[in-house]
Structure 1
Amino acid sequence: MSKRCYYETLGVARGANDEELKKSFRRLAMKLHPDRCPDDPAAQEKFKEAKEAYEILSDQRKRSLYDQHGHAAFEHGMGGRGGGGFNGDVGDIFGDIFSDIFGMGGGGRVRRGSDLRYLIELDLEEAVFGADKQIEVPTLVECEHCDGSGSEDGKTSTCTTCRGQGRVRMQNGIFSIQQACPHCAGAGKVVTNPCRECRGEGRVHSERTLSIKIPAGVDNGDRIRLTGQGEAGPSGTVPGDLYVEVRVREHAIFQREGDDLHCEIPIRFGQAALGAELKVPTLDGEAEISIPPETQTGKLFRLRGKGVKSARSGRTGDLLCRVAVETPVRLTTEQRELLRQFESTFNGEDAAAHSPRNSSWLDGVRRFWDRVIS
């Protein structure tokens, strides 16, 4: 069966430039790669055809031969590799194509500086309402003396190891792999007269002061990305990003759970028994809750909309107040006598009616002992 036209295989016009060829092959490779279609032989075959087409058309000499003689140029040795159809260098193709996908270019040349992480601690109020903060970030910055070139006089020379390509080829059996040149770190050029400030690195250690706006509603573990504020990259590349990770300090009153806030409200015995109107704190002022008579410790009261407005969903949570009945301390003689008189009123068979939790607890104890004895 005759082969398809290479241009047709890649879906490009005959006058397509190198960038159009690369873009088209990258699109097909991401769609048809065997790792993505392990159970689709047809897709795998199409991938091989696209790879072969790109290997030929991306090489100007081979492309010229193909334009003149078609597939015959590579079936009878005219391609210079002894014929036999596709003899492509896998390292060449994937070094140029897939390296771009994963943030590498030029056969392994780093295209940007490293990302940085900074941990910032906030008060709960700052996390809930947002804040403007200044942070000091130790990092590598572009050397001002040489403008990041690494050269004292601004001059560079072609790397003799890679001959200016920025890549070297490593042969391992039948596989040929390209990687960044270890001598010039993928730049293709070397500094002959290193800068006296950065010693040829193009970067120096420094501490940068940055202003950062904390959005309202952030929580523990949230990250704020500052594009381009990370570590300066090698000469001719862009800096990385800075990721500011949030940690919220413990609060004296409130605990946060998602978009809700929790707090504990201590109340006196008399307030719990007779009921009361209490003022409770919220993050934006005071609110009032009604304690009904005979309230037990642990009772939960919900104040809707008094929690945190989420930075993601925009939903506002609630404030949940849990009451804790306190035992009175430092009693006066009169208070002690009054409590004794009050306690004496619980003598008799009706005492259990006033202590619902105590009654259920005693019933549980009896059942437990009955099981043990039996």
Structure 2
Amino acid sequence: MIHILFMILKALGILLLVLLFLVLLIVCTVLFLPFCYRAQVLKEEEGFACVKASGRVSWLFGAVALTASYEEQKPEAQILLFGASLETWKRRLKKIRRGEASVSRTEENETENAPEAEKTAEQKAEAKKEQTSAEQPAEQKTDTVEKQMPQRDAEKTQKAPDQTEKQQKVTAQKEQQEQEQEPDAPKKSILERFFGRIEYLPEKLLNLVSRLLQTAFRLLELPFRLLEKLEQKIQAGRRLKRKWESVKKFFRSKMFREALLHAKKEVLYFLKKAAPKKVTGTVRFGFDDPALTGETLGILGMIYGKLPKDLSVQPDFEQEILRGDVRMKGSFQAVTAAGIALRLFRDQNLRKTIRHFKHKEA
């Protein structure tokens, strides 16, 4: 019994070790395999509308890639898996599913056709019996229909005069009711008309007086409302001033400056590691004013030592022009990004600044 338990524990341990090895392998491949990228910018004609650009970021030796292009002011991007786009993979999966569905349908049709062949003989015999039984009662039905026709005509002729008599009675009753409801209205005298008009004068006067009073109260309330709105605006301005002072104080604080310097340092470190290793191409530039072209050439001369060796910059002092063909390649590892993220997370000043901004947004 104990031997069996040890064998089970041994198998479980081997499985756990295999799983740990797979997890470590996946983590190492994600962290240490580099992300390679390349880009190209081409401009052969005048105007920024003629700019053409393309780029590609690949990982796992090109198994996973992201491509992007910009041509004729139309950006495009797509994800590639083993050299094929996601749309092609979806189409392939649909074709595979359709193939499985067609195979299952053919099998169902074969199973259904087998018993149908046995049923055909029985169905033919039943159909013959139904035809013979249908021919016999058809003759009987025709005789009964011919007998019932004269009876229906006689019933209709009896019902017609009864309906006309009922309609006449209903119309006579309606006329009597209308005559009873419309008696001769006596003519009103002049005094009755006068008193009838005077009767509603007090109510109208009261309504008019109430409306006038309401308008008067509103006019009296106007300055108080204006004062209230002015007070609200003044209070809102004071709040904005307090917020601005608190923001200025926060940006001038030592905590924010140290966090900003640390973040800047880490970003520059990442850009240094992910900078392109190879840059080739030519750039030709020129302005309307030759003096401006000379000034830009002087600025470029200051940083000429830091420019790539295979990149040639050609000034043109005669015309305004900007053309070029630049290509670059590079790579970076996810380990650098993970290390930067860990160091930023460990920085207390940066965490406090993030909490401060979250508190302000809430």
TM-score, normalised to structure 2's length?
A: 0.15
In terms of fraction of residues, the more helix-rich structure is 2
- Larger RCO (CA under 8 A, 6+ residues apart): 2
Larger CA Rg, structure 1 vs 2: 2
